[in-house]
Amino acid sequence: MEILNKAAFALCLAGLLTGAAGVFWRLKTAEKLSQWALLACVLSLSAALAARWRICGRPPMTDQYESLLILAWCVGAGGLIARRRSGVAAVGVLSCASCAAALAGASLLDPSVRPLMPALRSDWLAYHVLTAMASYAAFALAAAAGAWRLISSRGAGADEPLERLMIGALKAGFFLLTLGIATGAVWAQRAWGSYWSWDPKETWSLITWLVYAVVLHLRRAERLSGRALAWSCIAGAGVVLFTYIGVNRFLGGLHSYSGL
């Protein structure tokens, strides 16, 4: 499994380098190679996750190591879809960079398979973690697109594809986060007898949801665009990062047993 993860990381780096060459020097062949590298990365991660599932006898979604692998897979798969739908060449570079960051984080953690706690033995675990990680991946893509918008601004007209990408990623992330919170509530009710307990992770998930609800509302009201939208995407990603990692490190709570 580890060799597949390392292969995925190497493919991300290859995609990042070739994608950067394609974007900065407008080399179509390099851009195509970047897309193929990202696809190969997703396939390698798929094989790694399938192998871990087979060994564990359960979906690989019960600790932070596994959730980072899921996050990397979601970023890669989402990047492929976004590149095809948006036509923005930089998407490949942004996706490879984000995917590589998630895999680098996973490499710092213990990959050992641990016995499941009773609370984790639920089908709702897979629904909850997958939708939550997919939402984080979408928000990461929106933030990366926002950062690129700030770095490479070429005027309102030229930046429209990037803004459409940001909005599309925000909407997808918001929808998926809503599903993640809902499935988490059902799982909590079955595991602990309560849909909501104001656990730190639950509270910060709600804060994250409200932050993006405000961003999307302001955008719909045409009060947020251009650089302000880009900065909002980046700031929102900071809230996501604290919700995902910071809460467990500093606040603890029911989710801390698994590192999710």
pLDDT of amino acid 54: 92
DSSP H/E element including 117: none
**Among candidate residues 75, 128, 65, the one with its CA nearest the CA of residue 259:** 65
Least confident of 91-105, 110-124, 191-205: 110-124
Are the beta carbons of 133 and 71 closer than 8 angstroms? yes
How far apart, in Å, are the Cα atoms of 194 and each of 188, 191, 197, 235, 253? 6, 8, 7, 32, 15
Where does the pLDDT of residue 32 fall: very low under 50, low under 70, confident under 90, or very high at 90 and above?
very high
Annotated domain spans of the chain: 1-62+85-115, 123-260
Average pLDDT over residues 186-203: 87
Residues 6+ apart with CB under 8 A from 148: 90, 94, 162
Contacts for 203 with CB less than 8 Å, ≥ 6 apart: none
Q: Classify 123-260 by CATH class.
A: mainly alpha
Q: How many angstroms separate the Cα of 140 from the Cα of each of 86, 90, 137, 190, 238?
A: 16, 14, 5, 31, 9
pLDDT for the residue numbered 193 = 81
| Residue 66 in this model has a pLDDT that exceeds 70 | yes
pLDDT of 24 reads 86
The band of 56, judged by pLDDT with boundaries at 50, 70 and 90, is confident
The mean per-residue pLDDT over the stretch 167-172 comes to: 97
pLDDT of res. 260: 57
* Mean of all residue pLDDT scores within the chain: 90
Q: Between the CA of residue 245 and those of 45, 109, 111, what are the distances in Å?
A: 22, 13, 17
Residue 69 pLDDT:
97
Q: Per the structure block, which two tokens stand in for 69?
A: 């692998």
Q: How far is CA 250 from CA 40, 61, 93, 242, 243, in A?
A: 36, 22, 32, 9, 10
Higher-confidence residue of 124 and 33: namely 33
pLDDT at 157 over 60: no
Q: Which residue would you say has higher pLDDT here, 156 or 125?
A: 125
pLDDT grade for 107, boundaries at 50, 70 and 90:
very high
Place of tokens 């799982």: 187
